[in-house]
């Protein structure tokens, strides 16, 4: 949603803010700003646009000598992108940056206006600053003011706050939105995620909800709700600064596509026992847990939901466990029946997705066991779920997920195998084969597909002049088509829809005109004849067809204009190979169109508000 950064210590604060904001820009890039303390004064520089616009402002009017600052890069919610709506916001003696959303801001704004407060922006954040300032004026204690003000707020927030009269101190609180503290050799930091802190330190502490941190140049303390204080529990991250850099690739998305073979191995290998069988004991999950599951409800958003659709096929086909997939934003408003033996699985790359977190809490309130599949360690979903499985994908900087989706699908494949083996539905040999397929065949097949850039670029050239593109498939290929469609439209801005191939005759085929691009996926040989029949239907109406299918299928030359053959060393290898193809086609299309691939318009990486 938005990204925040802060620092206090003995170093030069402004370059640190700019470095951190450049890393955090994937969380939002409508506007950007910093507030830096210089003695008793706090200078604010902010503007509409990306970090380059702020750099120009600082060249024209530099801030020198600051040792304490906060910064923000914005994804607009309340109020459009503008200089006035950019953070930080000042209200009286308080300067504040915010990631989240204050749901009752209108009510609070009216109340504060009646008390004489004036507002310069359209944002809920300025209201939050005014409310904290109101309490600070009365209490003269930053912690008490923050505690009283946030008790009045409904919604989600992570705040970095400066108070006049408290030079060198940054106050921090979170509820619902992520925030991490860090300790470096020259002071203390805060940020929305660890990637922004890696240039400075590897020591971190993930803040818990409603804790208030006070960061000073030589000390950091946490104030708890009961009034007690404690020192942060510092840990060492395994992430490296290099993992959050492009590493010679043109875009983060391309780098992350190429990291997927290794990412699958990292996700699968910790769940393999010495006997080569699925084993989640390192995640605190034994065979008895899997044996008690009677049905599964997968809850997720966007690409994570698409991974869930792949998981549905696997869980029902391999483990024979009835499974449903739910869009997280809809889950609480029409919750499904949860009979005994239900497991609710929450999938979230960030571990902070607001709708998914709300669904998790709904399930827990109703006494239903929960399992979180997340990438980011010690995030809210990971902490609050009864059990958690980390995907170990590593940092994913591009807004459009690739290895996040890939590792979620690989973990779901392992879960299906673990349940099937624990319940006796597959024997040791079958379970070992699934594990071997994922550990060996899948990475090798993906590497093979990564070497076909020229092929993908040729297909992309056939898409760039069209306003509408369609993906079709049956079974799991329909689930893959949904992810393929999302990838293409979110980074190239070409309208693209996915349809179950058999549904074309029920209305959609009316959209096919001469030259309309249709991409068909076929990884299941049992469904190929049916899919090919649907392809012939669109070709007879002039569609330009690309077929992505298994290399062992006999495909008549007239079936497709372009053909991408997939390795068939195993079913898993074929599916993950198709994934590489659809990601690379989307990437090459966006590249040919000159789009901002890592930062698509109107999107942010982590959606931490509902």
**Contact in structure between 473 and 520 (CB atoms under 8 Å):** yes
Q: What is the pLDDT of residue 554?
A: 84
pLDDT-based confidence at residue 185 (cuts at 50, 70, 90): very high
Of 247 and 457, which is predicted with more confidence?
457
% of the chain beyond a pLDDT of 90: 77
User: Could you give the 3-state DSSP secondary structure of residue 95?
Assistant: strand
Q: What is the pLDDT of residue 77?
A: 78
Instruction: Write out the H or E segment, with its range, that includes residue 574.
Output: helix 571-592
pLDDT-based confidence at residue 145 (cuts at 50, 70, 90): very high
Q: What is the dihedral of CA 579, 585, 590, 592, to 10 degrees?
A: 160
pLDDT-based confidence at residue 23 (cuts at 50, 70, 90): confident
Over residues 92-116, the mean pLDDT reads: 94
The architecture CATH gives domain 453-592:
3-Layer(aba) Sandwich (3.40)
pLDDT at residue 144 tops 90: yes
Q: What is the pLDDT of residue 27?
A: 78
> Which residues fall within 8 angstroms of residue 11, CB to CB, at 6 or more apart?
67, 186, 187
Sign of CA dihedral 448, 252, 391, 76: negative
As annotated, the residues of the chain forming the CATH 3.40.50.10490 domain(s) are 252-448, 453-592
**Active-site residue, from 57, 202, 487, 605:** 605
Over residues 554-560, the mean pLDDT reads: 86
**Contact in structure between 318 and 416 (CB atoms under 8 Å):** yes
% of the chain beyond a pLDDT of 70: 98
Q: What is the pLDDT of residue 415?
A: 98
> Which residues fall within 8 angstroms of residue 222, CB to CB, at 6 or more apart?
207, 211, 212, 213, 229, 230, 231, 232
The H-assigned helical ranges of 390-527 are 403-422, 428-436, 442-450, 453-461, 476-492
Q: What is the pLDDT of residue 252?
A: 92
* 42-46, 188-192, 556-560: least confidently modelled range: 556-560
**Contact in structure between 384 and 357 (CB atoms under 8 Å):** yes
- pLDDT, tens digit, for every residue of 334-387? 888 899 999 999 999 888 888 999 999 999 999 999 999 999 877 889 889 999
**Contact in structure between 213 and 207 (CB atoms under 8 Å):** yes
230 is catalytic: no
- pLDDT, tens digit, for every residue of 438-472? 999 999 999 999 999 999 999 999 999 999 999 99
605 is catalytic: yes
Token readout for 342 is: 């239900």
* 22-31, 89-98, 169-178: least confidently modelled range: 22-31
**Contact in structure between 585 and 460 (CB atoms under 8 Å):** yes
From the CB of residue 507, how many other CB atoms can be counted at a distance below 10 Å?
9
Domain 252-448 sits in CATH 3.40.50.2000: no
Q: What is the pLDDT of residue 607?
A: 60
136-144 own/partner pairs: CB under 8 Å, 24+ apart: 136/92, 136/93, 136/94, 136/163, 137/92, 137/93, 142/166, 142/169, 142/171, 142/214, 143/171, 143/212, 143/214, 143/223
Q: What is the pLDDT of residue 521?
A: 97
Q: What is the pLDDT of residue 605?
A: 60
pLDDT at residue 244 tops 80: no
CA gap 521, 607 in Å, rounded: 30
Q: Report the mean per-residue pLDDT for the chain.
A: 92
Say which CATH topology domain 3-244 has. 3.60.20
**Active-site residue, from 2, 205, 406, 549:** 2
CA distances (Å), origin 479, targets 66, 111, 326, 451, 472: 52, 49, 14, 25, 10
Q: What is the pLDDT of residue 159?
A: 97
Q: What is the pLDDT of residue 564?
A: 96
- Name the nearest CA neighbour of 443 among 549, 572, 550: 572
pLDDT at residue 606 tops 70: no
User: Could you give the 3-state DSSP secondary structure of residue 330?
Assistant: helix
- Relative to beta strand 212-216, strand 3-9 is unpaired
* 110-119, 426-435, 504-513, 533-542: least confidently modelled range: 504-513
Instruction: Write out the H or E segment, with its range, that includes residue 308.
Output: helix 302-317
As annotated, the residues of the chain forming the CATH 3.60.20.10 domain(s) are 3-244
pLDDT-based confidence at residue 585 (cuts at 50, 70, 90): very high
pLDDT-based confidence at residue 540 (cuts at 50, 70, 90): confident
Over residues 229-256, the mean pLDDT reads: 86
**Contact in structure between 156 and 101 (CB atoms under 8 Å):** yes
């Amino acid at each position: 949603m938005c990204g925040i950064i802060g620092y206090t210590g003995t170093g030069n604060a402004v370059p640190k803010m700019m470095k951190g904001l450049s890393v955090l820009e994937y969380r939002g890039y409508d506007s950007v700003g910093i507030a830096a303390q210089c003695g008793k004064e706090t200078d604010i520089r902010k503007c509409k646009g990306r970090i380059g616009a702020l750099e120009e402002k600082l060249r024209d009017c530099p801030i020198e000598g600051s040792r304490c600052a906060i910064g923000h890069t914005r994804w607009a919610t309340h109020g459009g992108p503008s200089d006035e709506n950019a953070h930080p916001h000042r209200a009286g003696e308080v300067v504040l940056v915010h990631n989240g959303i204050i749901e009752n801001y209108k009510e609070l704004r009216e109340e504060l206006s009646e008390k004489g407060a004036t507002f310069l922006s359209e944002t809920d954040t300025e209201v939050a600053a005014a409310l904290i300032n109101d309490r600070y004026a009365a209490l003269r204690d930053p912690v008490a003011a923050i505690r009283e003000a946030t008790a009045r707020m409904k919604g989600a927030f992570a705040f970095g706050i400066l108070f006049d009269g408290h030079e060198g101190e940054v106050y921090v609180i979170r509820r619902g939105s992520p925030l991490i503290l860090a300790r470096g050799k020259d002071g203390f930091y805060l940020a929305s995620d660890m990637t922004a802190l890696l240039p400075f330190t590897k020591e971190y502490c993930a803040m818990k909800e409603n804790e208030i941190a006070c960061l000073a140049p030589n000390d950091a303390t946490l104030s708890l709700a009961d009034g007690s204080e404690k020192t942060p529990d510092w840990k060492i991250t395994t992430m490296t600064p290099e993992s959050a850099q492009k590493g010679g690739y043109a875009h983060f998305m391309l780098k992350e596509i190429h990291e997927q073979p290794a990412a699958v191995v990292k996700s699968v290998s910790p769940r393999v026992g010495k006997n080569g069988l699925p084993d989640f004991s390192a995640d605190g999950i034994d065979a008895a847990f899997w044996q008690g599951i009677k049905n599964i409800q997968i809850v997720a958003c966007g690409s994570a939901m698409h991974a869930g659709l792949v998981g549905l096929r696997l869980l029902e086909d391999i483990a024979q466990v009835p499974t449903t997939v739910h869009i997280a934003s809809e889950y609480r408003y029409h919750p499904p029946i949860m009979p005994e033996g239900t497991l609710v699985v929450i999938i979230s790359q960030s571990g902070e997705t607001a709708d998914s977190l709300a669904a998790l809490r709904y399930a827990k309130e109703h006494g239903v066991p929960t399992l979180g599949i997340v990438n980011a360690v010690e995030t809210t979903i990971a902490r609050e779920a009864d059990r958690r499985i980390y995907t170990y994908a590593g940092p994913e900087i591009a807004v459009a997920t690739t290895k996040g989706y890939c590792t979620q699908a690989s973990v779901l494949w392992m879960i299906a195998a673990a349940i099937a083996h624990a319940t006796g539905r597959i024997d040791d040999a079958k379970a070992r084969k699934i594990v071997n397929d994922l550990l060996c065949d899948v990475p090798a097949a993906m590497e093979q597909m990564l070497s076909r850039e020229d092929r993908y670029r040729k297909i992309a050239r056939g898409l760039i002049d069209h306003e509408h593109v369609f993906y079709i498939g049956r079974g799991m290929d329909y689930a893959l088509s949904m992810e393929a469609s999302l990838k293409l439209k979110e980074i190239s801005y070409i309208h693209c829809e996915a349809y179950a191939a058999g549904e074309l005759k029920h209305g959609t085929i009316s959209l096919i005109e001469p030259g309309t691009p249709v991409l068909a996926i076929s990884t299941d040989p049992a469904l190929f004849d049916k899919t090919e029949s649907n392809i012939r239907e669109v070709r007879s109406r002039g569609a330009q067809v690309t077929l992505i299918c298994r290399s062992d299928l006999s495909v008549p030359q007239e079936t497709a204009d372009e053909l991408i053959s997939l390795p068939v060393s195993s079913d898993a290898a074929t599916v993950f190979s198709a994934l590489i193809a659809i990601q690379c086609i989307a990437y090459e299309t966006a590249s040919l169109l000159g789009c901002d691939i890592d930062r698509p318009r109107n999107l942010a990486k982590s959606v931490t508000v509902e």
